[in-house]
Structure 1
């Protein structure tokens, strides 16, 4: 039981949450009729124009963004190993967060500087 608790603490010390990104894109691509365009001002007008006139481009861009997120998530695993993050839970959290949030998460991992341990 002590090992599990220390592993969870170790994962928490190397994992940092990021802010969301692909949620709005999903809403625009899959449920454009439910967006309150009038309430969003100029952004709403622009979004409605894109939905009405360029929905194929939005849909293709959405799937391209997911493909890029998959690549970033795989790269996050490489970064975890190179930065000495060996805890499986921490690696999984970085992978999932980067898959969902992309560069917002990956930039935090890139900036992470592990503490060097003193050799005796």
Structure 2
């Protein structure tokens, strides 16, 4: 099977997903590791929900935080496999896909999954 010219294919994830994932994971980290410093009253319904989870389901939040990063790690490893399967042979492109997928999860992985290396249009 001949490789396409997509050996260095990389697309940056959308700014929307970068902001959403970064904001969510930052807030989640803050509530898990420094729950006493979160201004719950100033955050409206989000603060009330976060306070409820911290007060009544903290162990789930704590272990869930670690599980979130394990899931992101497996997504990044899957992105590495997809790069091989799709003929992306540039080391820098592979590294960028793995790093971006580790940080932003499905917001990045979706772009790689949609990539068709031979240029055929995607079936609907």
> Where on the TM-score scale, by shorter chain, does this alignment land: which range?
0.7 to 0.9
- The answer to whether the 8 A contact 1:69-1:102 is kept is yes
* Residue 102, structure 1, aligned to residue 105, structure 2: yes
Deviation above 3 Å: which 4+ runs of structure 1? none
- The answer to whether the 8 A contact 2:100-2:108 is kept is yes
Give the gaps of 5 or more residues in structure 2. Answer: 1-6, 120-124
Give the gaps of 5 or more residues in structure 1. Answer: 1-9
Q: What's the TM-score once normalised by structure 2's chain length? A: 0.75
- 3-state secondary structure, aligned to 2:116: coil
Q: What pairs up with 1:1-120 in 2 under 5 angstroms?
A: 11=8, 14-18=10-14, 19-20=17-18, 21=21, 22-116=25-119
Structure with the higher fraction of residues in helix conformation: 1
C-alpha distance in 1, partners of 2:107/2:31? 20
Q: What's the TM-score once normalised by structure 1's chain length? A: 0.77
Give the RMSD, CA atoms, in angstroms: 1.8
